[in-house]
Amino acid sequence: MSRPRREVQVGDELPPLARAVDQQQIDAYAEASGDRNPIHLDPDFARTVGLPGTIAHGLLDMAILAEAVGRWAGAYERVAELSCRFSKPLLPGETVTCTGRVVAVDPAAGTATVQLEAVSSRGERVLTNGRAVVRLAG
Amino acid sequence: MPDPSHVGRRYVALGQVVSTDRVAAYAAAVSGADEIFSPGSVPPTFAAVYCLLPTLAEVFADSELGIELSGLIHVEQSFEWPVPVRAGDVVDAAAEVFSVEDKRGLTFVTLGLEATNQGGETVCRGRSLLLIRGDRR
């Protein structure tokens, strides 16, 4: 596993993380998180609110984004900040791919700022305005 | 429906246990059975479990505010973790209505989040932008 050290540079790219998300994983996330909003679990309900069917939790998409950052950082504890916009829904059966690029390094603070996004296999930009601050290993 | 008079309302969920079992179940639901990091390592977005969802439950219980789970669309989320959350922590979580805005007939609510551990350290701060899709009558 790569471990960013202080020689991390602006322009460095995170290894992309692709994950196929099916309804079983969405169900598992609902159970593990306690978020049982029916738009994630009940296709009939989801259609009544104008969705094509169930959608993944935005926080599941964000959790996969966090995993991409955590893998690069070497530990979840190094993720100091994470934010994103839930722009498009991820549908069960699609693969989400998370990418990121270092946009700033603060040697004094020992942190790097990473710009992030997540795109679905349909080409939809699922997560936009993604940003993380990572504590670099000393 | 929420309106600007509700700004400043605060909802607390005390004693949220960051249990090793729940952390492991959450990590497996996100990443599969592979243990990516050391056991007990808390996925950052587990903040949904110890902070966002329990305080949202209190938000839903406020009938004057009139927000329900099935009427929510999560638009944006930011979190920061000034001190890492550890398995075994017991945290007090709070959410405050920062703003209620009407944009083109849609109601947007911003919640500010904070979670404090048993030692009084702030382990998480956050901000949730929610679109409320309720009936407008």
What CATH number is associated with residue B118?
3.10.129.10
A82 vs A131: CA distance, rounded Å: 6
Residue closest to A109 by CA, chosen among A134, A81, A132 = A134
Q: What is the pTM of this model?
A: 0.95
Q: What confidence category does residue B40 fall into, taking pLDDT thresholds of 50, 70 and 90?
A: confident
pLDDT at A1 over 60: no
User: Which chain B residues are Cβ-neighbours of A85 within 8 angstroms?
Assistant: 75-76
Distance from CA of B86 to the nearest CA of A (A): 9
- ipTM beyond 0.90? yes
**pLDDT tens digits for range A19-39:** 999 999 999 999 999 999 999
pLDDT band at residue B136 using 50, 70 and 90 as cut-offs: very low
Mean pLDDT throughout A59-74?
A: 97
Find the residue in B nearest to A23 (Cα): B29
Q: How many domains does chain B have?
A: 1
- When the pLDDT of each residue in chain A is averaged and rounded to a whole number, the result is 94
Alpha helix segments (H runs only) across B1-137: 20-31, 47, 53-61
State mean pLDDT over B17-27.
Answer: 95
For residue B117, the enclosing domain spans: 4-132
H or E segment and range at residue A29: helix A23-33
Mean pLDDT confidence for A119-126: 97
Label residue B39 by pLDDT band (50, 70, 90).
Answer: confident
The partner residue sitting opposite A70, judged by closest CB among B29, B37, B70, is B37
Determine which helix (DSSP H) or strand (DSSP E) holds B115, and give its type and residue range.
strand B106-116
Q: How confident is the model at residue B134 (pLDDT cuts 50, 70, 90)?
A: low
H-helix or E-strand spanning residue A69 = helix A58-73
In angstroms, what CA-CA distances link B128 with A2, A70, B62? 31, 22, 18
Checking if the pLDDT of B59 tops 90, the result is yes
* Spatial distance between the Cα atoms of B84 and B58, rounded to a whole number of angstroms: 25
* Residue type (1 letter), B43: P
Q: Is the pLDDT of residue A2 over 60?
A: no
The answer to whether A48 contacts chain B (CB < 8 Å) is no
What is the per-residue pLDDT for B124?
Answer: 98
Nearest 5°: phi and psi at B97? -75, 110
Q: Are A39 and A45 in contact (CB under 8 A)?
A: yes
> Could you tell me if residue B26 is inside a domain?
yes
Alpha carbon distance B77, B100 (integer Å)? 16
Average pLDDT of span B118-133:
96
Separation of alpha carbons B58 and A99, rounded Å: 35
At residue A4 the predicted structure's pLDDT band, cuts being 50, 70 and 90, is low
Please name the member of B31, B48, B75 whose beta carbon is closest to the beta carbon of A35. B48
Check residue B133 and give its pLDDT.
Answer: 79
Task: State yes or no: pLDDT of A132 exceeds 50.
Answer: yes
Establish if B137 belongs to a structural domain. no
Cβ contact B43:B124 at 8 Å: no
- Please check the confidence at residue B60 and state whether its pLDDT lies above 60: yes
- Residue B13 resides in a domain: yes
Q: Check CB contact of A28 with chain B, cutoff 8 Å.
A: yes
* B31 touches B46 (CB < 8 A): no
Q: What is the pLDDT of residue A3?
A: 57
Which CATH architecture does the domain made up of A17-135 adopt? Roll (3.10)
Residue B137: the pLDDT is 33
Are A79 and B75 in contact (CB < 8 Å)?
Answer: no
Question: What is the number of alpha carbons within 13 Å of residue A93 lying toward its C-beta?
Answer: 5
Residue B97 CB neighbours (<10 A): 22
- B80 in any annotated domain: yes
